Amino acid sequence: MKIGSIHTESPVFLAPMAGVTDYACRILCKEMGAGVVYSEFVSADGIIRQNQKTLHLIRFQEEERPIGIQIFGNSPEVMAKAARFVADKFQPDILDINYGCPVPKVTKRGAGSAALKDLHLMDEITAAVVQSVPNLPVTVKMRAGWNSTSIVVPEAGERLEKIGVKAITLHPRTAVQSYNDKADWSLIKELKQTVSIPVIGNGDVSAPHRVAEMFEETGCDAVMVGRGALGNPWFFKDSLALLNGKSPPETRSVTERVEICRRHLDLLLEDRGERWGLNLMKKHFGWYIRGFPDAAKHRRALVTALELDEMRQELNVLEKAAEKIDTLAYV
């Protein structure tokens, strides 16, 4: 599929997730077949202040392309200035606007999904960004509306397309729902039938087979995966296998998990250094190390490791245990 002039072979994308989709995560998912990967969402205010922590969230490597940088804010002027800065300094493939985040610390500032309360402001922000980066495809990730009485799909989609947005990702829950209740995939289908630009479906894609189900039920052009990929970069490989009529493994062996943990840790160390890399890896162990005998014991040992050598040693211990666990699993 194409987003503006950007072409991607894989129709399964990695969603932007704060505190998760850093360089290490994006590389692993890209290697497993993710089509487009997205940065963590980045504050437009932080960008124009050139806050170094903020700018680090934007940096990427060439092997990550095509990559989208997602920004959020409540001011057309600030968003436009931030978009121009990102385009000039980092040259991503896609600039994405966040109209989907339901987290109060974002919405109370009028950003994220709060923009859906005022479609005129949404129009102004979007138009300012589109005009500021004429050579870069601008996309939007959005919710269905603020609450159940203010659903803005498909109207918002029509407005965004008219302004010049090149694709829309829809998470069909409201901001008030957050991640509760069931995502209403019928809204993705309705949006797809309304606009001519690509529509990317998102929400409740909890397992690889759900990717195929979303394509079938909604007719969307691509599927964006968020929480389903936590501790499971194989999600993309398995989804593509199913889409091509193949049968992926039902689960990943503990040995495979240890191998991917080592790779993830090495990437974090490369990107963030030992102190930050060590701490950041601990939350990923919570997703990788689960669902097998004594997983809690091994996970506890890994997340309480104080030094890099201790963490590596605990991975060695788990690797030895994995030989027995995996043998029993396949008897």
261 catalytic per annotation: no
Residue 300 pLDDT more than 80? Answer: yes
What would the two tokens of residue 153 be? 């799909």
Residue 330 pLDDT more than 70? Answer: no
Burial class of 28 by CB neighbour count within 10 A (0 to 12, 13 to 18, 19+): buried
Residue 201 pLDDT more than 80? Answer: yes
**Residue 327's pLDDT is what?**
84
Please state the rounded mean pLDDT for residues 261-268. 98
Please state the rounded mean pLDDT for residues 302-329. 93
Catalytic residue among 25, 29, 101, 261: 101
**Residue 175's pLDDT is what?**
96
Domains of the chain: 2-243 (3.20.20.70), 254-329 (1.10.1200)
Q: Residue 250: how many CB atoms within 10 A of its CB?
A: 6
Q: What gap in Å lies between CA 173 and CA 272, rounded to an integer?
A: 34
**Residue 329's pLDDT is what?**
62
Residues 76-98: pLDDT tens digits?
999 999 999 999 999 999 999 99
Q: What gap in Å lies between CA 29 and CA 67, rounded to an integer?
A: 12
Rg (CA), the chain: 20
**Residue 260's pLDDT is what?**
98
Residue 180 pLDDT more than 50? Answer: yes
For residue 181, give Cα distances in angstroms to 90, 98, 124, 185, 258. 38, 22, 31, 12, 34
* Confidence band for 289, pLDDT divided at 50, 70 and 90: very high
The average confidence (pLDDT) of the chain is 96
Q: Which of 311, 286, 276, 265 is nearest to 24 (CA)?
A: 265
Q: What gap in Å lies between CA 331 and CA 87, rounded to an integer?
A: 54
0.85 exceeded by the pTM?
Answer: yes
Residues 116-142: pLDDT tens digits?
999 999 999 999 999 999 999 999 999
* Confidence band for 250, pLDDT divided at 50, 70 and 90: confident
Q: What gap in Å lies between CA 270 and CA 192, rounded to an integer?
A: 41
**Residue 82's pLDDT is what?**
98
